[in-house]
DNA sequence: CGCGAGTGTTGCTGATAGTGCAACAGTGTT
DNA sequence: AACACTGTTGCACTATCAGCAACACTCGCG
């Protein structure tokens, strides 16, 4: 159900209170609003500690209280950082337009993701207008490389060292269909490279399928992945090939503008 | 030139290291990348201190190094927060679309701003394709209420207590034309309410003019401001009325969707 | 080539800054 | 009215974090 419980004790050499503050921001990215007590319970600290952390974040506009003596939520200061971040590259902006357009055509949830260290990061998302769809907000979310269509696609075109690292580390299981055997994953990656697109059939979330195609920038390198996600009854395996054609169009449009975000994303 | 030097010693009861970390994020929102030493100088702390703060932020993906032993910049974790923030309201998304469309029509820099405590916050921005334009990225930026078109418009329609607060506090001067006399500002606000739009003629930045109109949501309340900003030679005072007509169209479109972001924005 | 000034990074140690405690002031429920 | 909550604030202790100094390294200059 909740798939992020990083209750690690924090590596030494880091600043404890800053780490806790950052975790608060993470929490507030998942839940729309939280009270002081709720935060303190989640962090495992005293209420007063959580309060002071929140008060500090509030002074810098990173969080705000919905009203006096009320819950806290993310503040508008976040916008400034987000603006500065997206201003750095055209890809984010172009990807948003691409997602919006494709979501209108396919009427399903679209994602554009990029490779980052040990995960695929969704940089853009647009939803179809169907009642049943992808509920969660995935923008900025780090999803595993071995259990999602975008993850597998990006990993298949990443550097060998990156692939080795994922293949040697234990593969976490999320559903009954999740690939957890390294050999099986290696074969899957090979197939992804051959046919030029990747899938995820209930491997990350039960009852949910996804298809991803590469976005190629100047020089032909894979700079991102464009994907569709939908309930399995609306996107069955038999329909994958049809979607791929549509996806390719969008991905080529996006790639043609050859936006780039992290030139060193493959390097380490 | 640099108009933000909040070298205040930090109020008691706040967590020092978290405050410093937040300031790092602010700095990285202004400059695209900074080294450890640069950050330490800016914060007035030792290099090792700045390093550990950055390392902690990096562990939570809020910043990242451009390469090993290199500068730091904002990380992709910021996207997650931004995604969660904008997902809370339709206004941000609709405003972006509105800005984009208007920027295409007027070929100038468009902004949508909302009222927040003691400043106007730009939640959306789109630029025309002219070479000379608004250089700075303003999204998430807090601009003064008395020296900008959006600020004056929002203030004119804010609660009386808010207006009183601004009128009694000292009005900072930014250019020769900045209104610093409370009585003069009060008269200006009255004029804004009468004619239904606000201007800023080189009051915030020399050689730059701006015009703002209200965005009215369900119930007729002013929920945001839509504005155009341009060099004074392209947007002279004589041309204001023409732009207003175009702005009104966009603002009405936007308001018709009656998005809402902060229902309690006027309360305190 | 070697110097010097710059960088990012890392143990160590003392004192400061931040934590937990307890108590207060509220609100809504029992 | 008692209770169980909430967010908030002074206080005192001690764990935490800032500063120092040294390291490894890169760059530019002589």
pLDDT of residue B268: 31
Residue A61 CA: distances (Å) to CA of A32, A79, A94, A207, B127: 16, 10, 28, 39, 26
Q: How far is CA B62 from the centre of its chain?
A: 21
Q: Contact at 8 Å (CB) between B264 and B158?
A: no
- CA–CA distance, A21 with A72 (Å, rounded to integer): 13
Q: Are residues B126 and B228 in the same domain?
A: yes
pLDDT of residue B79: 87
Total structural domains in chain A?
A: 2
Q: Are residues B21 and B74 in the same domain?
A: yes
Question: Do B19 and A66 count as a contact with CB atoms less than 8 A apart?
Answer: no
CATH of the domain at A95: 3.30.450.40
Task: Let me know if residue A262 belongs to a domain.
Answer: no
- CA–CA distance, A109 with A104 (Å, rounded to integer): 9
Q: Contact at 8 Å (CB) between A78 and B140?
A: yes
Q: Are residues A64 and A191 in the same domain?
A: no
- CA–CA distance, A22 with A17 (Å, rounded to integer): 9
Task: Let me know if residue B3 belongs to a domain.
Answer: no
Q: Are residues B190 and B213 in the same domain?
A: yes
Q: Are residues A47 and A137 in the same domain?
A: no
pLDDT of residue B132: 57
Q: Contact at 8 Å (CB) between A229 and A208?
A: yes
pLDDT of residue A267: 34
Q: Contact at 8 Å (CB) between B128 and B232?
A: no
pLDDT of residue A98: 87
Residues in A touching B32 (Cβ below 8 Å): 84, 88
Of the three residues A80, A101, A116, the one that is the final residue of a domain is A80
CB atoms within 10 A of CB B17: 19
Of the three residues A63, A80, A97, the one that is the final residue of a domain is A80
3-class DSSP state of B49:
helix
Give the residue ranges of chain A where pLDDT is below 70.
1-9, 129-136, 258-268
Binding residues for strand C (Cβ < 7 Å): A 13, 16-17, 20, 45-49, 52-53; B 15-18, 35-38, 47-48, 51-52, 54-55, 65, 68-71
The range of the structural domain enclosing residue A114 comes to: 88-256
Q: Are residues A139 and A108 in the same domain?
A: yes
Q: Are residues B102 and B42 in the same domain?
A: no
Summarised one tens digit per residue, pLDDT across range A185-219 is: 999 999 999 999 999 999 998 989 999 999 987 77
- CA–CA distance, B145 with B118 (Å, rounded to integer): 7
Q: Are residues A248 and A125 in the same domain?
A: yes
Mutate to test the interface with B, among A12, A15, A33, A97 (most CBs of B within 10 A): A15
Task: Report which of residues 41-60 in chain A place their beta carbon less than 7 angstroms from any atom of strand D.
Answer: 47-48, 51-52, 54-55
Partner residue facing B29 (CB), from A17, A21, A80: A80
Give the residue ranges of chain B where pLDDT is below 70.
1-9, 129-136, 219, 258-268
């Amino acid at each position: 159900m909740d798939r992020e419980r990083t209750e690690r004790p924090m590596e030494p050499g880091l600043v404890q209170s800053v780490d806790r503050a950052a975790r608060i921001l993470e929490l507030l990215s998942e839940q729309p609003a939280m009270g002081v007590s709720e935060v303190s319970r989640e962090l495992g600290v005293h209420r007063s500690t959580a309060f002071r952390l929140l008060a500090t974040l509030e002074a810098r506009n990173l969080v705000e209280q919905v009203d006096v003596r009320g819950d806290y939520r993310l503040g508008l200061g976040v916008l400034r950082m987000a603006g500065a971040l997206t201003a750095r590259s055209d890809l984010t902006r172009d990807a948003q337009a691409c997602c919006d357009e494709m979501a209108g055509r396919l009427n399903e949830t679209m994602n554009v993701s990029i490779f980052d260290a040990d995960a695929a990061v969704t940089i853009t998302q647009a939803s179809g207008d169907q009642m049943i769809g992808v509920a969660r907000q995935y923008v900025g979310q780090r999803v595993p490389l071995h259990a999602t269509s975008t993850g597998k696609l990006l990993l298949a075109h990443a550097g060998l060292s990156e692939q080795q690292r994922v293949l040697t580390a234990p593969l976490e299981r999320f559903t009954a269909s999740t690939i957890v055997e390294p050999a099986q994953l290696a074969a899957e990656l090979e197939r992804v490279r051959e046919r030029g697109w990747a899938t995820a059939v209930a491997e990350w979330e039960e009852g949910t399928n996804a298809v991803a195609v590469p976005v190629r920038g100047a020089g032909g390198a894979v700079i991102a992945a464009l994907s569709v996600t939908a309930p399995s009854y609306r996107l069955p395996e038999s329909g994958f090939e049809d979607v791929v054609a549509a996806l390719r169009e969008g991905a080529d449009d996006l790639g043609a503008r050859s936006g780039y975000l992290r030139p060193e994303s493959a390097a380490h």
